[in-house]
Amino acid sequence: MNNFTPVKIAGFGYSVPETVITNDDLTKLYETSDEWIYTRTGIKERRVVSGNETAIDLGLDAAKKAIEKAGIDVNDIDCIIGAASAPPQLYPTLSATIGAKLGIKDTIPAFDMTAACTGLIYAMQVARGFIQSDIYKTVLIIAADNNSKITDWTDRGTSILFGDGAGAMVMCASDDGVDDILSIKISANGAIGNLIRTGVPSQCCPLVQPADEVASGKIIMDGKEVYKFAVTTVPKYVEECIELSGLSAEEIDYLIPHQANQRIIESIQKRLKYSDDKVVSNIKYYGNTSAASIPIALCEGVEKGKIKLGSTAVLCGFGAGMTWGGAVIRLREGIC
């Protein structure tokens, strides 16, 4: 027993743009086919922002839904964490911008942190630490990414994968003594960070020698190596998170993984020996929406009746950094 304040997962929300880009649409950009993309990734279509729409609009919409589900007033929130790998702007931060749009009057802290596609799980670990130690009581996490703005649309190896979307979640001090986070673990290895990278377009001071190379601002990825990393590291890591939770794999109701590639999802499923009804996948319709993919899969899974609340789930994420993480959580009734 420890004296930490138990953490309640109070609400989730998600938002995706209206515009759908199918695999067939991509054949207008380069030589590819629906068959090639679907068999290698499980993706049929993805959503992208258009015109002036950005991850901030999606994140705001997702945040409003999560707040409503949590049954709190916006002014109950005392900290906002943005988990964005591809926000529309470096600053002002996505979290502070959305906080203002939500009408939060107080000068509560708002900051963005980047752990790419593992961002939600990293943010959960940070929020959990704040709540457990009574620093903040109610934390809003917003995972919102407009990947389409940093995708190299001439590169058929990466642009087939990514989509835009946002997920949000409210975590707060538990009022019934039940802790909804049974385990959480996060990791990183910068030594293999070049496997997925995006440099910020930049310049040198005009009075000094220019840099040899200027970053394009687009995603560059070694897909084969990322794939190998994911199928070797992540399934074993998920097992370790489960072990840490004190539950057995059979006792957990659902696997809600980061939606990066259907074959990677299946490698985790195989390791856990889970039947299809326990595994949540919606990559077919959204592609990889980075940090937003887990909350989108969770909320949509509930909407479609795949996930019954009042259950438990193991979440796992991995991505640029390289970063990876997992969590075993309780899914209370009414959270989404």
- In the chain the first and final C-alpha atoms are separated, in Å, by 30
Pairing of strands 138-146, 323-331: unpaired
Least separation in angstroms between CB 314 and ligand UT7: 18
Q: How far is the CB of 166 from ligand UT7 (least distance, A)?
A: 16
Could you tell me which of 2, 4, 6 has the C-alpha nearest to residue 177? 6
Instruction: Decide: 8 and 180 in contact? Cβ < 8 Å.
Output: yes
Q: Closest separation between CB of residue 290 and ligand UT7, Å? A: 7
Which of 144, 226 has the CB closer to ligand UT7? 226
CA–CA dist 246, 179 (Å, integer): 13
DSSP three-state, residue 224? helix
Of residues 85 and 245, the one with the C-beta less far from ligand UT7: 85
DSSP 210: P
Which span sits near ligand UT7 by CB under 6 A: 5-13, 29-37, 72-80, 139-147?
Answer: 29-37
3-state SS, 31-79, equals CCCHHHHHHHHCCCEEECCCCCCCHHHHHHHHHHHHHHHHCCCHHHCCE
Residues in 305-324 that interact with ligand UT7 by CB under 6 A: 319
Cβ atoms 255, 269 nearer than 8 A: yes
Cβ-proximal residues to 11 (8 Å cutoff; 6+ apart), any chain: 65, 66, 67, 68, 69, 70, 71, 72, 169, 170, 335, 336
d(CA 122, CA 128): 10
Cβ-Cβ contacts under 8 Å for 141 (sequence gap 6 or more): 80, 81, 83, 120, 123, 124, 127, 168, 169, 170, 171
Which residue carries 């900051």 as its tokens?
111
Please identify, using beta-carbon distances, which residue of 15 and 198 lies nearer to ligand UT7: 198
Site string for ligand UT7, 200-239 (x = CB under 6 A): ---------------------x-xx-xx--x---------
Q: Least distance from C-beta 195 to ligand UT7, angstroms?
A: 9
**Binding residues with ligand UT7: total (CB under 6 A):** 20
> Which residues are tagged catalytic?
117, 258, 288
Which string of x and - marks every residue 152-191 that binds ligand UT7 (by CB under 6 A)? ----xx--xx------------------------------
Between CA 52 and CA 73 the distance in angstroms is 29
Judged by beta carbon, residue 245 or residue 289, the one nearer ligand UT7 is: 289
Q: Is 86 in the site for ligand UT7 (CB under 6 A)?
A: no
Q: Which of 288, 289, 316, 329 binds ligand UT7 (CB under 6 A)?
A: 288
Residues sharing a CB contact under 8 Å with residue 39, sequence separation 6 or more, in sequence order: none
9, 80, 241, 260: which one binds ligand UT7 (CB under 6 A): 260
Minimum CB separation from ligand UT7 for residue 83, in Å? Answer: 14
Is the Cβ of residue 115 or residue 141 nearer to ligand UT7 in the bound state?
A: 115
Least gap, CB of 45 to ligand UT7 (angstroms)? 14
Interface residues with ligand UT7 (CB under 6 A) are 32, 36-37, 40-41, 117, 156-157, 160-161, 221, 223-224, 226-227, 230, 260-261, 288, 319
